[in-house]
Amino acid sequence: MFRFVCIAWNERARDEKAVGEALAQQLLDRSPDWRLALKASGLHVYCAGQDGSHGILALDGQGIVLGTLRRRIATLEGRATGLKHLTEAQSREIIDSGGKALIETYWGNYVAVLCGRLDPAIRVLRDPTGSLPCFVMKARGLTIVFSCIADIAALGFTFTPNPSYLESRLILESNPYERDALVEVSRVHGGECLSIDYRRDATGRFTREFYWTPSTFQKSDHPIHDPAEAAEAMRSIVRGATHSLARQHDNLLLRLSGGLDSSIVAGCLREMAPERQVTCYTYFTPRGRSSELPWARLAAAHCGLAHVECAVTAEDLDLSLLESTAPTVNPPIGLMHLQKITLETQLTEAMELGRGELAEASGAPVEVIGYPGGRCDDRVAAAARTAGFRVGYSTERAPVTPSSDPLLLGRIGPSLHTVGALALELAFTLVKRESGRPTRVLERAPS
């Protein structure tokens, strides 16, 4: 796996320089894979795990592009190949623009680190749509930019989970990328340029600017007004990008669901099948409530591609592998599902406890539950069923039919103009006159 670590410090501060150089030496001592890719005033960049799909492009001693870089092709049928080097003119254009030329003229999967001689700041720019991670933290007077947190943890740094991230990830189920997972670490987003200025600010204050913002696309100087022309342009761009990425490999695997996205990619790869082996695969659960297989089969057959159907059940999962999972800033989605299993177990136990206490207090079996606030779904109903409830009511206004789940029954309130509504109103009126307060159905036995 390709990784990088950038260490920046205030060159005028001797202590910080010594700490930075010592940390760099510690990194090199840990593994012979690490090598110095760029050395500039107050900045060292190290890389490890270089492979065929990631490279290092020097920018005339004033920066470096880590990853894969392709130049945009003006023609609709163009296919871009990964650049092996940059000319002096191309490097100067990128440096003089503060990295904006990368957004306007190139694409790929890269993180660029720029340290122009006339630029007071160190700039870190991440490709808008690339998958190469990029994180930044401040520690020991240094600024450290990196792609893999395991490399930083191995250097003796410790981290604190962000409580708001845990809340949003495990309880609220909101977008896990809305917040940073660790207090000390923040992300450099796609299309974002992070500037670290030690010349104007001894602490290396951060400033952030988005060079790539989709909302500005509508302000294009050359808008396409004809829908057919726009569709052809989109089709050509998708084909060109897919072919450019696929040409790096002799054999290709496509995870095919039969949905729109994967089927489009399958259609693009169909044209490459004669020169490269393309195999599609689809995961499915034999006892699942639904399956993507019919649609995946149709897409694979239409494109004439080999298709492998992979059956997966809970029994096939080896959870012991989680013990050797490498540290990551954003845990995989699968870990969230494992945490939910724990929460669902706790929910079942709480329902069993509550049902037992109610049965003991009332002296009668408790088989019906009205969900708090009426909020329930399949998981809550499953927990209620396991806890021994036979009937469960939500507050959803829905008819009850013979096929309704007994633990997910809706309610239909009587119309305001029916005899039932009148009877209900009379009943409440009589109760109020007799007691002046709500009737207490269950009284606690005197001690």
Q: What is the mean pLDDT of the chain?
A: 82
Between residues 114 and 236, the one the model is more confident about:
114
pLDDT band at residue 343 using 50, 70 and 90 as cut-offs: low
Which pLDDT tens digit goes with each residue over 3-22? 999 999 998 888 999 999 99
Q: Can you state the angle between helices 293-303 and 260-270, rounded to 10 degrees?
A: 20
Q: What is the pLDDT of residue 444?
A: 41
Residue 27 has, within 13 A of its CA and on its CB side, a CA count of 26
Q: What is the pLDDT of residue 424?
A: 62
Strands (E), 115-210: 122-126, 135-139, 142-146, 185-187, 192-197, 205-210
pLDDT of 140 above 70: yes
Between residues 261 and 403, the one the model is more confident about:
261
Of 1-10, 80-89, 195-204, 307-316, where does the model show the most confidence? 1-10
Q: What is the pLDDT of residue 104?
A: 87
> Which residue has 């036995």 as its token pair?
445
- For 65, the 3-state DSSP assignment is strand
pLDDT of 321 above 80: no
pLDDT > 90: percent of the chain: 34
Q: What is the mean pLDDT of residues 229-235?
A: 87
pLDDT of 439 above 50: no
Burial class (CB in 10 A: 0-12, 13-18, 19+), 369: buried
Least confident of 155-159, 249-253, 258-262, 427-431: 427-431
Distances in Å between the Cα of 167 and the Cα atoms of 335, 342, 372 are: 15, 15, 21
User: CB of 113 within 8 A of CB of 122?
Assistant: yes
Q: What is the pLDDT of residue 182?
A: 92
Question: Residue 45 phi/psi, 5° resolution?
Answer: -125, 125
pLDDT band at residue 441 using 50, 70 and 90 as cut-offs: very low
Could you count the other beta carbons within 10 Å of the beta carbon of residue 40?
19
**What domains sit in the chain, N to C, each tagged with a CATH number?**
3-216 (3.60.20.10), 223-312 (3.40.50.620), 335-410 (no CATH)
Closest CA to 330 of 133, 158, 156, 184: 133
Which pLDDT tens digit goes with each residue over 34-80? 999 999 989 999 999 865 556 788 888 899 999 888 887 655 555 56
Q: Which token pair is 424?
A: 């209900």
Closest CA to 136 of 5, 252, 318: 5
Q: What is the pLDDT of residue 151?
A: 93
Which pLDDT tens digit goes with each residue over 177-196? 677 889 999 999 999 999 99
Distance CA 102, CA 126 (A): 10
pLDDT of 291 above 50: yes
pLDDT band at residue 153 using 50, 70 and 90 as cut-offs: very high
Least confident of 86-95, 142-151, 355-364, 425-434: 425-434
pLDDT band at residue 164 using 50, 70 and 90 as cut-offs: confident
pLDDT of 365 above 80: yes
pLDDT band at residue 148 using 50, 70 and 90 as cut-offs: very high
Burial class (CB in 10 A: 0-12, 13-18, 19+), 193: buried
